[in-house]
Amino acid sequence: MLPTGFAPIPVKLPKILGEDLAGVVVEAPEGSKFKEGDRVFAGTDQFFKSGDQGGTDGEFVAADEHTVCLIPEGVSFLEAAAVPVAGLTAWQALERVFPLEGKRVLIHGGAGGVGGFAIQIAKAHGAHVTTTCSSAKVDYVSKKLGADVVIDYTKGPWEAAARESLGGERYDFVLDTIGGSYEAASLRLVKRGGQLAGVGATGPDVARVSLLGMAALLFNAGWRTLMGRLGLAPKYHFVMTESKASRGLEQIAELMREGKFKVHLDRVFPLEELAQAHEYLEQGRARGKVGILIKAMD
C-alpha cells in the first residue's frame, strides 16, 4: 500500500518501509528479556509511526520489545524475516476458531504468504484444509504445505468445487485473503455457527487502493460484522494484525521448533533492489514469501 504512494493515514516523509525483520540485538535496555547478540525476529508496527521510526528496510531498526521473539534454533535469518506480519495475520485469523481438531477450513490464496502460513497452522492444529490457488502452484500447496484439497481457481468456478469437495457440506471456517466477490461467495459456504475472517483486498475485482476503496472496505467489514452479530449471516471479522509477539509469533516459533511450520522463500532481493522487490510483490503472484537481504549473517 505505502510503496504505491497511498496511505490511509497521514505519513511523514521520508519514510523507511518494511515491517518484518530478523537480525541480532545490538542494544537492549536494562531489564529487557533480550540481550546483545540474541538472534531475534519481529513484526514492527511502523505503519502507524511517522518518518523513519521502525521501518525495517535498513541495517539498524528500533523495535518495541513486545514485538520481538527469539528465532528458533535451525531457522535462518532470511526464513525468520519472512514470518512475522504474514504469520501473525494467519494466526490471529485462525485463533478465534481454535481448537481446529476435525474442523473443515477453507483458505483462499494458499500460495501466498498469509494463506500458506495459515494452511500450516491449521494443519498443525488438526483441521481439514481446502485451499484455492492458480495452476502452477497446486503441487506447492498440496505437497509442501500439506493442504488436503486444492482448488485451481483458473479452471472454473471455485465455489462449486469447494462445495463438492465436502460432499455438499459447509465449512466451519473460511479465511479470505482475496476479498471482493470471494467474500460474498465464501459466506455462502460457511455453515450455521461458522465464521469467516477477512484479511485482504487484493482480488481481481477489488478496487485499487484509494481512500474510497478503503472506506468501502471498512463499511463492508462493519456491515458484515453486524449481520453476523445479529445472527443473520455467519460470524465475520476483519483481521487488523497486531504486532505483539505473544499474539502468534511466539506460538509459530514453537511450531517451527517442532518442525510443523516451514518457510518457503519465493525470491530474495538485495536491499539495492528494493523497488524491484516491491514491483514483484505488487503482482501478487508470489509462491510463499519474498525476502530482502540487507546483510548476510548466517
By CB under 6 A, name the one of 199, 249, 252, 292 that touches ligand NAP.
199
Stretch that binds ligand NAP, among 5-13, 185-193, 196-204, 268-276 (CB under 6 A): 196-204
Concatenated DSSP letters for 35-63?
-TT-EEEEE--GGGS-TTSS--SSS----
Distances (CA, A) of 201 to 19, 113, 209, 283: 19, 14, 9, 13
By CB under 6 A, name the one of 139, 218, 284, 298 that touches ligand NAP.
284
The whole-angstrom separation of Cα 113 and Cα 285 is 10
The whole-angstrom separation of Cα 105 and Cα 168 is 14
- In the complex, the smallest distance separating the C-beta of residue 287 from ligand NAP, rounded to whole angstroms, is 6
The footprint of ligand NAP on this chain (CB under 6 A) covers a number of residues equal to: 30
β-bridge mates for residue 21, sequence order: 42
86 touches ligand NAP (CB under 6 A): yes
| CB nearer ligand NAP, residue 39 or residue 117 | 117
Sign of the dihedral through C-alpha 127, 128, 129, 130:
negative
156 touches ligand NAP (CB under 6 A): no
By CB under 6 A, name the one of 72, 200, 248, 291 that touches ligand NAP.
200
Residues 89-118 within binding reach of ligand NAP (CB under 6 A): 89, 108-109, 111-115
The whole-angstrom separation of Cα 96 and Cα 107 is 15
Pairing of strands 104-107, 128-133: parallel
User: Coil, helix or strand for 241?
Assistant: coil
Q: Cell 455457527 identifies what position? A: 193
By CB under 6 A, name the one of 8, 146, 203, 213 that touches ligand NAP.
203
By CB under 6 A, name the one of 78, 85, 147, 197 that touches ligand NAP.
85
Stretch that binds ligand NAP, among 35-43, 75-83, 166-174, 280-288 (CB under 6 A): 280-288
Task: Identify the CA nearest to 54 among candidates 43, 46, 42.
Answer: 46
CB atoms within 10 A of CB 134: 14
Name the closest residue to ligand NAP (Cβ): 112
143 touches ligand NAP (CB under 6 A): no
Stretch that binds ligand NAP, among 38-46, 163-171, 219-227, 236-244 (CB under 6 A): 236-244
Q: Which positions lie near ligand NAP, rule CB under 6 A? A: 85-86, 89, 108-109, 111-115, 132-134, 137, 153, 177-178, 199-204, 239-241, 281, 284-286
